[in-house]
Amino acid sequence: MPGSVGRMLNDTITIGPELTWQETALCAQAGPEFFFPAPGSSTREAKQLCGACEQRKACLEYALANDERFGVWGGLSEKERLNLQRTRQR
């Protein structure tokens, strides 16, 4: 599951503007093992949840911009994101 990364402000963690999509993303309701399955395990359920999420595009763009190499982000696996990056570079 994409983690909440923030900055400290008066001992309170706040989410930076690039991560505000996480506040309403469906992944916030599932555990990280759902989006980071063991090698060889299915990513089907995570992708189905992503497909129903209004924040899917923002999540995918975040993963691509930050070179997230593991897990399901924006409904795509590691290999799918790598293929998308290669296609975009052409």
Provide the annotated binding site for [4Fe-4S] cluster. Answer: 27, 50, 53, 59
DSSP 23: G
- Measured between alpha carbons, how far is 88 from 90 in angstroms, rounded to an integer? 5
Joined together, the tokens standing for residue 33 give 């093992």
In 3D space, the residue among 23, 44, 24, 30 whose CA is nearest the CA of residue 1 turns out to be 30
Q: Residues at the annotated binding site?
A: 27, 50, 53, 59
**C-alpha to C-alpha distances, 5 to 53, 55, 65, nearest whole angstrom:** 20, 17, 15
